[in-house]
């Protein structure tokens, strides 16, 4: 074996280790769109709250806000699925393999916990803690899943947790922090991933 | 450094075996089908290389039953981990100028 063969062998090893552990079809475009939906939802929520509906019809406003958040989540997941499937096809990889399954499960556990916890907070009337809690749990979910996808997802998770913690202590700007965390950060990281891994 | 440390292991010269070991080094309990999917090789080819690695005691096979269907998974043994790490070190040291 000569030098070139050794380099090839090492490259093979590295690629096989990566591909068997990490789900690399995740498209940056899904992040960009998720961010746009989140910003739109945050804007609609802002308008609703500014109209003073929160005082005149508290129950209706709460349902409106929850419907907004849920709609935003469903749209984001649908779009992520669409772009990620396209990306997997382009790379000739299977969309749903062992690494995708591991990434999904590890993301889902903290995320579902956070969702249920947020419902408990709403029931207890601690509405102000919903934005910080969802940001913190989402960040933990990303860190948990990052071992099975792009390592930069871990960074995003840390930023989400920091934002959530700040929002928990700086009172009364929940919506703003929520818009930064779910809107702006998704767009920034989505753009970065798209140009780094998909355009080139 | 002792000479033998830089010795390449003949057992890992084949690409399929190199692939099997790479996957098993970073994953636990990998199924036969998952290995096949990752390496893109035929059943027979994969089975014969797995058997060779098992014979060397680098790889351990585990059979479990899931809904009455047998499910075979593979893991790297302690010996296999050591041998593969040494092989990697040898590869790297050969590339050093």
Structural domains present in chain B? 3-95 (1.10.10.10)
- Interchain proximity A16–B23, CB inside 8 Å: yes
Residue B56 reports pLDDT greater than 60: yes
Q: How many pairs of residues across A and B have Cβ atoms under 8 Å apart? A: 49
Cβ–Cβ contact B59 with A under 8 A: no
Looking at residue A4, its pLDDT comes to: 82
Question: Is residue A75 a contact partner of residue A37, using CB atoms and an 8 Å limit?
Answer: yes
Residue B29 reports pLDDT greater than 60: yes
Residue B14 reports pLDDT greater than 50: yes
Query: What is the SS3 string spanning chain A?
Result: CCHHHHHHHHHHHHHHHHHHHCCCCCCHHHHHHHHHHHHHHHHHHHHHHHCCHHHHCHHHHHHHHHHHHHHHHHHHHHHHHHHHHHHHHHHCCCCCCHHHHHHHHHHHHHHHHHHHHHHHHHHCCCHHHHHHHHHHHHHHHHHHHHHHCCCHHHHHHHHHHHHHHHHHHCCCCHHHHHHHHHHHHHHHHHHHHHHHHHHC
pLDDT tier, B20 (very low <50, low <70, confident <90, very high otherwise): very high
pLDDT tens across the length of chain A (200 residues): 577 888 888 888 988 898 888 888 899 999 999 999 999 999 999 999 888 887 888 889 989 999 999 999 999 999 999 999 999 888 877 888 888 998 999 999 999 999 999 999 999 989 899 999 999 999 999 999 998 999 999 999 999 999 999 999 998 899 999 999 999 999 999 999 999 988 86
pTM, rounded to two decimals: 0.81
- Is A139 among the domain residues? yes
State the total domains in chain A: 1
Looking at residue A19, its pLDDT comes to: 86
Question: What range defines the domain where residue A84 resides?
Answer: 26-199
- Is A64 among the domain residues? yes
Nearest residue of A to residue B97, measured between CA atoms? A3
Establish whether this prediction's ipTM goes over 0.95.
no
From the list A6, A16, A17, the residue facing B91 with the nearest CB is A6
Chain A residue numbers touching B22 (CB-CB < 8 A): 12-14, 16-17, 20
Cβ–Cβ contact A19 with B under 8 A: yes
Average pLDDT over residues B75-84: 95
- Interchain proximity A12–B22, CB inside 8 Å: yes
Looking at residue A200, its pLDDT comes to: 60
- Is A7 among the domain residues? no
Looking at residue A195, its pLDDT comes to: 93
Looking at residue B1, its pLDDT comes to: 44
Residue B3 reports pLDDT greater than 80: no
Chain B residue numbers touching A17 (CB-CB < 8 A): 22-23, 25-26
Looking at residue A52, its pLDDT comes to: 83
More confidently predicted of A96 and B77 = B77
- Interchain proximity B92–A94, CB inside 8 Å: no
Looking at residue A130, its pLDDT comes to: 94
Cβ–Cβ contact A98 with B under 8 A: yes
């Amino acid at each position: 074996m000569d030098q070139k063969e050794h380099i090839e062998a090492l490259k093979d090893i590295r690629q096989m280790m990566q591909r068997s552990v990490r789900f690399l079809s995740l498209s940056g475009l899904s992040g960009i769109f998720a961010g746009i939906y989140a910003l739109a939802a945050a804007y609609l929520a802002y308008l609703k709250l500014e109209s003073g509906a929160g005082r005149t019809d508290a129950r209706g406003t709460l349902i409106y806000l929850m419907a907004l958040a849920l709609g935003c989540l469903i749209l984001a997941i649908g779009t992520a699925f669409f772009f990620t499937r396209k990306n997997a096809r382009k790379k000739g990889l299977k969309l749903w393999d062992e690494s995708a399954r591991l990434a999904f499960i590890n993301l889902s556990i903290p995320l579902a916990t956070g969702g249920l916890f947020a419902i408990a907070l709403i029931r207890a009337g601690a509405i102000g803690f919903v934005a910080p809690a969802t940001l913190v749990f989402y960040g933990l979910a990303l860190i948990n899943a990052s071992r099975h996808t792009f390592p930069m997802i871990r960074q995003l998770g840390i930023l989400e947790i920091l934002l959530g913690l700040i929002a928990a202590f700086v009172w009364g700007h929940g919506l703003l922090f929520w818009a930064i965390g779910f809107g702006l950060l998704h767009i920034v990281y989505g753009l970065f991933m798209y140009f780094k891994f998909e355009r080139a | 450094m002792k000479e033998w440390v830089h010795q390449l292991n003949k057992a890992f010269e084949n690409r399929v075996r190199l692939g099997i070991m790479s996957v098993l080094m970073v994953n636990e309990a990998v199924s036969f089908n998952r290995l096949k999917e990752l390496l893109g090789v035929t059943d027979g080819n994969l089975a014969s290389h797995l058997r060779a690695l098992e014979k060397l005691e680098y790889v351990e096979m585990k059979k479990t039953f899931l809904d009455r269907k047998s499910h075979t998974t593979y893991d790297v043994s302690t010996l296999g981990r050591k041998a593969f790490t040494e092989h990697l070190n040898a590869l790297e040291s050969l590339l050093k100028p």
